[in-house]
Amino acid sequence: MWNYLHKMASPPHFYRLAKILIPWLVLPGALLIAYGAYAGLFVAPPDYQQGDAFRIIYVHVPSAYLSMMAYMIMAISAGIGLIWRIKLAHAVAAGAAPVGASFTILALITGAVWGRPMWGTWWEWGDPRLTSELILLFLYFGYMALRNAIDDTAKADKASAVLAMVGAINVPIIHFSVQWWSSLHQGPTLIRQGGPAIDNEMLYPLLAMIVGFTLVFAALLLRRVRAEVLYRERRTNWVRELILSPRGDG
Amino acid sequence: MGGLAMDGYGAYVWSCFALTLAVFVFNEWRARVRHRSVYKQIEVRVKALEGRQ
């Protein structure tokens, strides 16, 4: 097991394996998203209170879930890199940040667009769910800005890892905010006592979207990490051999 | 069946789906551009070094 993990953490092994994995993640991910989008837009019945506006759930919930999952991947990887000094872990953290930030922006915008017809406002500053999600975006921006501000990669890894780990406290706050405090935002729909709060006709497309988004996110993350690994390993023999090989990276 | 108008919510619903598609495309494009740029930089340096030897 340890040998397997050690091999997986080897940059050249990861670089080659990631390239093989990407299409196997994208294809089922795209199919699930296509099914989820079709069924969510055209098959699921309108909500009895929100009408067709509820269909925004099919992009809002997966993007909000990914915004938090990407942050946890970033924080855990940064922690592993800091404690066990595994270079690949820092590359994963650095790769997760821009993708996670983009899904956080998506969650915030789709939430605001959904809020306008339902709540009568795009944004409510006093709302704990909205505000904590916005703080998540600032944490991503802070992490990326800190990395860019430090030229020495090792120092940038350490400083940004501390920020990523401290900021992880915000993720459970986002998740539980609708239970801990009074919020405009509705309570949990899927992960709640007594099971999901929506009918199966609405639920299955949502689950397909969540799994599909996750698979495509994983592929995007692998692409980002491959570039990060290549940059970090640019002076190593395996990269030199890769460049000089007749096939190159193809 | 919601239809394209989505009972008056079409602009809200479709704009969210369009934005989602844009985010996926942007992420894929950025990742490819970054990888290509790093690869090209290394390729130029490695080939220059090889040429000198």
Q: Residue ranges of the domains in chain A? A: 24-244
DSSP class of residue A54 equals: G
Residues of A with Cβ-Cβ distance to B10 under 8 angstroms: 52
Contacts 24+ apart (CB under 8 A), B27-33: B27/A98, B27/A99, B27/A102, B27/A220, B28/A220, B28/A223, B30/A98, B31/A220, B31/A223, B31/A224, B31/A227, B32/A223
Q: What percent of chain A has pLDDT over 90?
A: 80
DSSP state of A47: B
Q: Show the tokens assigned to B48.
A: 């220059």
Q: Which of A63, A113, A242 to mutate to test the interface with B (most CBs of B within 10 A)?
A: A113
Please state the rounded mean pLDDT for residues A97-108. 98
Q: Band the pLDDT of A196: cuts 50, 70, 90.
A: confident
What are the chain A neighbours of B23 within 8 Å (beta carbons)?
Answer: 63, 102-103, 105-106
Average pLDDT over residues B29-44: 95
Percent share of chain B, pLDDT over 90: 74
Cα–Cα distance, A114 to A109 (Å, whole number): 9
Task: Give the mean model confidence (pLDDT) for residues A69-96.
Answer: 96
- Distance from the Cα of residue A67 to its chain's centroid: 5
Contacts of B45 in chain A (CB under 8 A): 234
> Tokens 């990887």 appear where?
A77
Q: What is the pTM of this model?
A: 0.93
Per-residue pLDDT at A250: 57
Under DSSP, is residue A51 helix (H, G, I), strand (E, B) or coil?
strand
Q: How far apart are CA A70 and CA A105, in angstroms?
A: 13
| Weakest mean pLDDT among A22-31, A217-226, B40-49 | B40-49
- Residue ranges per structural domain of chain B: 23-53
pLDDT-derived band at A204 (thresholds 50, 70, 90) equals: very high
Give every CB contact of residue A73 below 8 A, 6+ residues apart in sequence.
Answer: A92, A93, A96, A100, A221
Minimum Cα–Cα distance from A111: chain B residue: B16
Compute, in degrees rounded to 10, the torsion defined by CA atoms A223, A224, A228, A229.
-30
What pLDDT sits at residue A249? Answer: 75
In which residue are the tokens 């860019």 written? A148
ipTM: 0.91
Q: How far is CA A86 from CA A5, A29, A99, A131, A222, in A?
A: 11, 29, 21, 34, 17
Angle of helix A128-149 relative to helix A153-167, nearest 10 degrees, comes to 170
The whole-chain average pLDDT of chain A stands at 93
Q: Is pLDDT at A139 greater than 80 in this prediction?
A: yes
